[in-house]
A and B are shown apart, each in its own frame.
Chain A
Amino acid sequence: MKAAGAVGFAAILNPKAMDVPWSRVASSRGNPAMALIDAGNTGDKGLQFSLTIKSDSGQSISCG
Protein backbone atom coordinates (compact mmCIF):
# COMPACT_ATOMS: atom_id res chain seq x y z
CA MET A 1 0.00 0.00 0.00
CA LYS A 2 2.81 2.39 0.77
CA ALA A 3 4.27 1.72 -2.65
CA ALA A 4 0.95 2.85 -4.10
CA GLY A 5 1.23 6.13 -2.21
CA ALA A 6 -0.98 5.37 0.76
CA VAL A 7 -0.04 6.70 4.19
CA GLY A 8 -2.79 4.70 5.84
CA PHE A 9 -6.26 3.36 5.37
CA ALA A 10 -9.84 3.94 6.43
CA ALA A 11 -12.25 1.07 6.91
CA ILE A 12 -16.01 1.05 7.34
CA LEU A 13 -17.01 -1.79 9.65
CA ASN A 14 -19.65 -4.23 8.50
CA PRO A 15 -21.89 -4.72 11.56
CA LYS A 16 -22.54 -8.34 10.59
CA ALA A 17 -18.83 -9.12 10.66
CA MET A 18 -17.99 -7.43 13.97
CA ASP A 19 -16.77 -9.67 16.77
CA VAL A 20 -17.22 -6.97 19.41
CA PRO A 21 -19.75 -4.19 19.91
CA TRP A 22 -18.87 -0.76 18.56
CA SER A 23 -18.49 0.60 22.11
CA ARG A 24 -15.49 -1.69 22.68
CA VAL A 25 -14.03 -0.90 19.26
CA ALA A 26 -14.27 2.81 20.05
CA SER A 27 -12.83 2.47 23.55
CA SER A 28 -9.70 0.82 22.19
CA ARG A 29 -8.80 3.79 19.99
CA GLY A 30 -6.21 5.04 22.45
CA ASN A 31 -4.30 1.79 22.59
CA PRO A 32 -0.72 2.16 21.39
CA ALA A 33 0.19 0.54 18.09
CA MET A 34 3.30 -1.56 17.65
CA ALA A 35 5.34 -2.56 14.62
CA LEU A 36 8.47 -4.61 14.15
CA ILE A 37 11.63 -2.59 13.66
CA ASP A 38 12.57 -5.31 11.23
CA ALA A 39 9.37 -5.02 9.22
CA GLY A 40 10.77 -6.11 5.89
CA ASN A 41 8.38 -9.03 5.70
CA THR A 42 5.17 -7.10 6.35
CA GLY A 43 2.97 -5.41 3.80
CA ASP A 44 2.15 -2.39 5.94
CA LYS A 45 5.62 -0.97 6.42
CA GLY A 46 5.47 2.80 6.63
CA LEU A 47 1.72 3.06 7.08
CA GLN A 48 1.09 5.44 9.98
CA PHE A 49 -2.60 6.09 9.92
CA SER A 50 -5.75 4.06 10.28
CA LEU A 51 -9.33 5.15 10.63
CA THR A 52 -12.21 2.89 11.61
CA ILE A 53 -15.67 4.16 10.75
CA LYS A 54 -18.93 2.95 12.20
CA SER A 55 -21.24 1.81 9.41
CA ASP A 56 -23.91 4.32 10.51
CA SER A 57 -21.47 7.08 9.66
CA GLY A 58 -20.23 5.44 6.48
CA GLN A 59 -23.05 6.92 4.45
CA SER A 60 -21.82 10.48 4.90
CA ILE A 61 -18.22 9.51 4.16
CA SER A 62 -18.86 7.46 1.04
CA CYS A 63 -21.81 9.26 -0.46
CA GLY A 64 -21.64 12.79 0.87
Chain B
Amino acid sequence: MAELLADADSGRLLPHFPLQRRIAVTQTFVHSNAESPNVAGVLEGDEPNLRNEYVILSAHLDHLGIGAPVHGDRIYNGALDNVAGIASLIEIARHLHDSGVRLRRSVLFLAVTAEEKGELGSQYFAAHPTVPSGGIVADINMDMFMPLFPLRYLEVQGLGESTFGASIREAAKDEGVKVQADKQPQRNRFIRSDQYSFVKHGIPALAFKFGYVPGTPEEKIFQGWLHTRYHAPSDDASQLVDLAAAAHFDRVIERLLTSVANDPEKPQWLPNSFFRRFAR
Protein backbone atom coordinates (compact mmCIF):
# COMPACT_ATOMS: atom_id res chain seq x y z
CA MET B 1 0.00 0.00 0.00
CA ALA B 2 2.85 2.39 0.87
CA GLU B 3 4.34 1.71 -2.55
CA LEU B 4 1.03 2.52 -4.27
CA LEU B 5 0.63 5.77 -2.32
CA ALA B 6 4.20 6.77 -3.14
CA ASP B 7 3.51 6.17 -6.83
CA ALA B 8 0.32 8.24 -6.60
CA ASP B 9 2.13 11.08 -4.81
CA SER B 10 4.87 11.19 -7.43
CA GLY B 11 2.41 11.15 -10.32
CA ARG B 12 3.61 7.79 -11.66
CA LEU B 13 1.15 5.49 -13.38
CA LEU B 14 -0.29 3.03 -10.92
CA PRO B 15 0.24 -0.67 -11.59
CA HIS B 16 -2.54 -3.06 -12.53
CA PHE B 17 -2.90 -6.29 -10.58
CA PRO B 18 -5.63 -8.65 -9.47
CA LEU B 19 -7.03 -7.89 -6.03
CA GLN B 20 -6.47 -10.60 -3.44
CA ARG B 21 -9.84 -10.26 -1.81
CA ARG B 22 -13.45 -10.26 -2.87
CA ILE B 23 -16.08 -8.03 -1.32
CA ALA B 24 -19.72 -9.12 -1.18
CA VAL B 25 -22.16 -6.26 -0.72
CA THR B 26 -25.92 -6.27 -0.27
CA GLN B 27 -27.60 -2.95 -0.81
CA THR B 28 -31.18 -1.83 -0.51
CA PHE B 29 -32.14 1.13 -2.66
CA VAL B 30 -35.02 3.46 -1.99
CA HIS B 31 -35.63 5.55 -5.09
CA SER B 32 -37.63 8.72 -5.26
CA ASN B 33 -37.83 11.60 -7.69
CA ALA B 34 -36.96 15.14 -6.70
CA GLU B 35 -37.04 18.44 -8.50
CA SER B 36 -34.64 21.26 -7.76
CA PRO B 37 -34.48 24.33 -9.96
CA ASN B 38 -31.57 26.28 -11.32
CA VAL B 39 -32.15 30.03 -11.25
CA ALA B 40 -31.01 32.27 -14.10
CA GLY B 41 -31.15 35.93 -14.99
CA VAL B 42 -29.92 37.76 -18.07
CA LEU B 43 -28.36 41.17 -18.56
CA GLU B 44 -28.82 41.69 -22.27
CA GLY B 45 -25.88 42.80 -24.32
CA ASP B 46 -25.94 45.98 -26.34
CA GLU B 47 -24.19 45.06 -29.56
CA PRO B 48 -26.50 43.54 -32.20
CA ASN B 49 -23.97 41.01 -33.51
CA LEU B 50 -22.76 39.98 -30.02
CA ARG B 51 -25.86 40.13 -27.82
CA ASN B 52 -26.77 36.55 -28.71
CA GLU B 53 -23.50 35.42 -27.16
CA TYR B 54 -23.46 34.84 -23.40
CA VAL B 55 -20.85 34.96 -20.69
CA ILE B 56 -22.01 32.89 -17.73
CA LEU B 57 -21.32 33.92 -14.15
CA SER B 58 -22.20 30.88 -12.05
CA ALA B 59 -22.31 29.72 -8.44
CA HIS B 60 -24.00 26.78 -6.80
CA LEU B 61 -26.91 27.42 -4.46
CA ASP B 62 -27.01 24.11 -2.61
CA HIS B 63 -25.05 22.65 0.28
CA LEU B 64 -25.33 19.42 2.24
CA GLY B 65 -28.51 20.11 4.19
CA ILE B 66 -29.10 18.10 7.36
CA GLY B 67 -26.61 15.35 8.13
CA ALA B 68 -24.64 13.50 10.75
CA PRO B 69 -24.25 15.63 13.92
CA VAL B 70 -20.90 17.18 14.75
CA HIS B 71 -20.74 18.47 18.34
CA GLY B 72 -24.53 18.12 18.41
CA ASP B 73 -25.13 20.27 15.32
CA ARG B 74 -26.80 18.66 12.29
CA ILE B 75 -27.28 21.76 10.15
CA TYR B 76 -24.69 21.98 7.39
CA ASN B 77 -24.91 25.69 6.66
CA GLY B 78 -22.42 26.13 3.82
CA ALA B 79 -21.60 29.78 4.49
CA LEU B 80 -18.46 29.70 2.36
CA ASP B 81 -19.58 26.65 0.37
CA ASN B 82 -21.38 28.34 -1.24
CA VAL B 83 -23.52 31.12 0.23
CA ALA B 84 -20.56 33.42 -0.37
CA GLY B 85 -20.54 32.52 -4.08
CA ILE B 86 -24.26 33.24 -4.39
CA ALA B 87 -23.85 36.51 -2.48
CA SER B 88 -21.15 37.55 -4.96
CA LEU B 89 -23.33 36.53 -7.89
CA ILE B 90 -26.20 38.70 -6.62
CA GLU B 91 -23.94 41.59 -5.69
CA ILE B 92 -22.17 41.67 -9.08
CA ALA B 93 -25.51 41.45 -10.91
CA ARG B 94 -26.94 44.25 -8.76
CA HIS B 95 -23.89 46.46 -9.28
CA LEU B 96 -23.84 45.96 -13.06
CA HIS B 97 -27.56 46.68 -13.24
CA ASP B 98 -27.43 49.78 -11.05
CA SER B 99 -24.36 51.19 -12.79
CA GLY B 100 -26.25 51.23 -16.08
CA VAL B 101 -23.18 49.92 -17.89
CA ARG B 102 -23.87 48.57 -21.36
CA LEU B 103 -21.94 45.43 -22.25
CA ARG B 104 -21.50 44.15 -25.78
CA ARG B 105 -22.27 40.50 -25.02
CA SER B 106 -25.08 39.31 -22.77
CA VAL B 107 -24.36 38.04 -19.28
CA LEU B 108 -26.19 35.05 -17.83
CA PHE B 109 -26.22 35.01 -14.03
CA LEU B 110 -26.70 31.36 -13.16
CA ALA B 111 -27.32 29.85 -9.72
CA VAL B 112 -27.11 26.08 -10.14
CA THR B 113 -28.48 23.38 -7.89
CA ALA B 114 -27.09 20.04 -6.69
CA GLU B 115 -23.38 20.76 -7.09
CA GLU B 116 -22.75 18.73 -3.97
CA LYS B 117 -24.49 15.76 -5.59
CA GLY B 118 -22.19 15.75 -8.59
CA GLU B 119 -22.68 19.10 -10.35
CA LEU B 120 -26.14 17.96 -11.44
CA GLY B 121 -27.68 21.41 -11.95
CA SER B 122 -24.85 22.68 -14.12
CA GLN B 123 -24.68 19.39 -16.02
CA TYR B 124 -28.35 19.74 -16.85
CA PHE B 125 -28.03 23.39 -17.79
CA ALA B 126 -25.00 22.78 -20.01
CA ALA B 127 -26.92 20.02 -21.81
CA HIS B 128 -30.20 21.95 -21.96
CA PRO B 129 -29.35 25.65 -21.81
CA THR B 130 -32.07 28.29 -21.78
CA VAL B 131 -30.07 30.23 -24.37
CA PRO B 132 -28.75 28.90 -27.70
CA SER B 133 -25.99 26.48 -26.67
CA GLY B 134 -23.65 27.69 -29.39
CA GLY B 135 -23.92 31.17 -27.94
CA ILE B 136 -22.29 30.41 -24.56
CA VAL B 137 -18.71 31.67 -24.84
CA ALA B 138 -17.36 31.32 -21.29
CA ASP B 139 -18.13 30.34 -17.71
CA ILE B 140 -16.80 32.20 -14.67
CA ASN B 141 -17.58 30.00 -11.67
CA MET B 142 -17.51 31.04 -8.02
CA ASP B 143 -17.43 28.14 -5.59
CA MET B 144 -15.97 28.38 -2.09
CA PHE B 145 -13.52 31.11 -2.97
CA MET B 146 -12.49 31.47 0.69
CA PRO B 147 -12.47 35.16 1.67
CA LEU B 148 -10.71 34.55 4.98
CA PHE B 149 -7.89 37.10 4.65
CA PRO B 150 -7.03 40.10 2.44
CA LEU B 151 -7.02 39.40 -1.30
CA ARG B 152 -3.39 39.79 -2.32
CA TYR B 153 -3.17 36.60 -4.38
CA LEU B 154 -5.86 34.93 -6.43
CA GLU B 155 -5.40 31.27 -7.26
CA VAL B 156 -7.00 30.49 -10.60
CA GLN B 157 -8.00 27.04 -11.75
CA GLY B 158 -7.86 26.74 -15.52
CA LEU B 159 -5.36 29.58 -15.73
CA GLY B 160 -3.13 27.92 -18.32
CA GLU B 161 -5.87 26.31 -20.34
CA SER B 162 -7.38 29.13 -22.38
CA THR B 163 -6.99 32.76 -23.42
CA PHE B 164 -9.25 33.44 -20.44
CA GLY B 165 -6.05 33.21 -18.35
CA ALA B 166 -4.72 36.46 -19.80
CA SER B 167 -8.07 38.12 -19.09
CA ILE B 168 -8.00 37.26 -15.38
CA ARG B 169 -4.35 38.33 -15.12
CA GLU B 170 -5.31 41.73 -16.49
CA ALA B 171 -8.41 42.10 -14.32
CA ALA B 172 -6.52 41.10 -11.16
CA LYS B 173 -3.62 43.41 -11.95
CA ASP B 174 -6.01 46.33 -12.28
CA GLU B 175 -7.22 45.56 -8.74
CA GLY B 176 -3.72 45.14 -7.30
CA VAL B 177 -3.98 41.35 -7.02
CA LYS B 178 -1.37 38.81 -8.12
CA VAL B 179 -2.56 35.70 -9.91
CA GLN B 180 -1.34 32.25 -8.92
CA ALA B 181 -1.72 28.96 -10.76
CA ASP B 182 -3.32 26.03 -8.96
CA LYS B 183 -0.88 25.06 -6.18
CA GLN B 184 -2.27 21.55 -5.89
CA PRO B 185 -3.09 20.37 -9.41
CA GLN B 186 -3.06 16.76 -8.18
CA ARG B 187 -6.36 17.51 -6.45
CA ASN B 188 -7.98 18.18 -9.82
CA ARG B 189 -10.02 21.10 -8.52
CA PHE B 190 -10.56 22.43 -12.05
CA ILE B 191 -12.79 19.44 -12.79
CA ARG B 192 -14.44 19.31 -9.36
CA SER B 193 -17.00 22.06 -9.58
CA ASP B 194 -19.64 23.41 -11.94
CA GLN B 195 -17.20 24.96 -14.41
CA TYR B 196 -16.37 21.45 -15.61
CA SER B 197 -19.94 20.91 -16.80
CA PHE B 198 -19.30 23.71 -19.30
CA VAL B 199 -15.75 22.63 -20.10
CA LYS B 200 -17.14 19.26 -21.19
CA HIS B 201 -19.24 21.14 -23.71
CA GLY B 202 -16.17 22.91 -25.06
CA ILE B 203 -16.71 26.18 -23.20
CA PRO B 204 -13.60 27.78 -21.63
CA ALA B 205 -13.98 28.37 -17.90
CA LEU B 206 -12.22 29.59 -14.79
CA ALA B 207 -12.63 29.02 -11.06
CA PHE B 208 -10.96 30.69 -8.08
CA LYS B 209 -9.62 30.47 -4.56
CA PHE B 210 -8.02 33.15 -2.43
CA GLY B 211 -4.29 32.57 -2.86
CA TYR B 212 -1.43 32.67 -0.41
CA VAL B 213 2.31 32.21 -0.20
CA PRO B 214 3.25 28.81 1.26
CA GLY B 215 4.52 29.05 4.81
CA THR B 216 2.56 32.19 5.69
CA PRO B 217 -0.26 32.57 8.26
CA GLU B 218 -2.69 32.73 5.32
CA GLU B 219 -1.78 29.17 4.37
CA LYS B 220 -2.44 28.09 7.94
CA ILE B 221 -5.86 29.77 7.90
CA PHE B 222 -6.72 28.23 4.52
CA GLN B 223 -5.65 24.70 5.41
CA GLY B 224 -7.13 24.98 8.90
CA TRP B 225 -10.49 25.90 7.41
CA LEU B 226 -10.44 22.85 5.14
CA HIS B 227 -9.61 20.62 8.07
CA THR B 228 -12.17 21.96 10.52
CA ARG B 229 -15.02 23.58 8.59
CA TYR B 230 -15.12 22.17 5.03
CA HIS B 231 -18.32 20.14 4.71
CA ALA B 232 -18.95 20.51 8.43
CA PRO B 233 -21.74 22.30 10.33
CA SER B 234 -19.18 24.89 11.47
CA ASP B 235 -19.07 26.41 7.97
CA ASP B 236 -21.57 28.88 9.34
CA ALA B 237 -22.14 32.61 9.82
CA SER B 238 -20.12 32.74 13.04
CA GLN B 239 -16.74 32.41 11.33
CA LEU B 240 -14.48 35.36 10.66
CA VAL B 241 -15.04 36.22 7.01
CA ASP B 242 -13.08 39.17 5.61
CA LEU B 243 -15.97 41.09 4.08
CA ALA B 244 -13.73 43.77 2.58
CA ALA B 245 -11.71 41.03 0.88
CA ALA B 246 -14.91 39.43 -0.43
CA ALA B 247 -15.93 42.81 -1.91
CA HIS B 248 -12.45 43.09 -3.45
CA PHE B 249 -12.93 39.66 -5.02
CA ASP B 250 -16.25 40.82 -6.45
CA ARG B 251 -14.54 43.78 -8.10
CA VAL B 252 -11.93 41.50 -9.73
CA ILE B 253 -14.63 39.16 -11.02
CA GLU B 254 -16.74 42.04 -12.29
CA ARG B 255 -13.74 43.40 -14.20
CA LEU B 256 -13.13 39.96 -15.70
CA LEU B 257 -16.79 39.57 -16.63
CA THR B 258 -16.88 43.01 -18.20
CA SER B 259 -13.69 42.48 -20.19
CA VAL B 260 -14.85 39.14 -21.60
CA ALA B 261 -18.31 40.48 -22.39
CA ASN B 262 -16.78 43.40 -24.30
CA ASP B 263 -13.91 41.56 -26.01
CA PRO B 264 -14.54 41.17 -29.76
CA GLU B 265 -12.79 37.78 -29.53
CA LYS B 266 -14.30 34.85 -27.63
CA PRO B 267 -12.09 33.00 -25.14
CA GLN B 268 -10.31 30.12 -26.86
CA TRP B 269 -8.61 26.98 -25.57
CA LEU B 270 -4.85 27.16 -25.84
CA PRO B 271 -3.27 24.76 -28.36
CA ASN B 272 -1.62 22.64 -25.65
CA SER B 273 -4.62 22.44 -23.33
CA PHE B 274 -5.85 18.97 -22.40
CA PHE B 275 -9.40 20.37 -22.48
CA ARG B 276 -9.13 21.58 -26.05
CA ARG B 277 -10.40 18.13 -27.06
CA PHE B 278 -13.88 19.23 -25.97
CA ALA B 279 -13.92 22.29 -28.23
CA ARG B 280 -16.77 22.41 -30.73
Contact = CB atoms under 8 A, between A and B. Distances in A.
Contact of A31 (B8, B67, B187, B230): B67
B272 interface: no
B27 A49 contact: yes
B33 interface: yes
B231 A35 contact: no
B280 interface: no
Contact of A34 (B8, B67, B114): B114
A4 B118 CA distance: 22
A23 to B, nearest CB: 9
Contact of B33 (A37, A49, A51, A58): A37
Nearest to B65: A31
B166 interface: no
Nearest to A42: B123
B117 interface: yes
Interface string B198-211: 00100000000000
Contacts of A14: 5, 8-9
B140 to A, nearest CB: 22
B4 A62 contact: yes
Given A24-B232, A55-B5, A17 B120 contact: no
A64 B9 contact: no
A16 B118 CA distance: 22
A49 B120 CA distance: 18
A11 to B, nearest CB: 11
Contacts of A61: 19-21, 23
B226 to A, nearest CB: 5
| Complex A-B, nearest 7 residue pairs according to Cβ-Cβ distance, in ascending order | A64-B20, A27-B68, A34-B117, A59-B1, A41-B127, A58-B1, A14-B8
Nearest to B113: A34
Interface string B212-249: 00000000000000110011100000000000000000
Interface string A40-64: 1110000011010001001111111
Contacts of A15: 5
A36 B124 contact: yes
B25 interface: yes
B12 to A, nearest CB: 13
Nearest to B68: A27
Contacts of A24: 70, 231-232
Nearest to B121: A36
B227 A35 contact: no
A15 B117 CA distance: 22
A21 B27 CA distance: 26
B118 A35 contact: yes
Interface string B8-31: 110000000101110101010100
Contacts of A30: 67-68
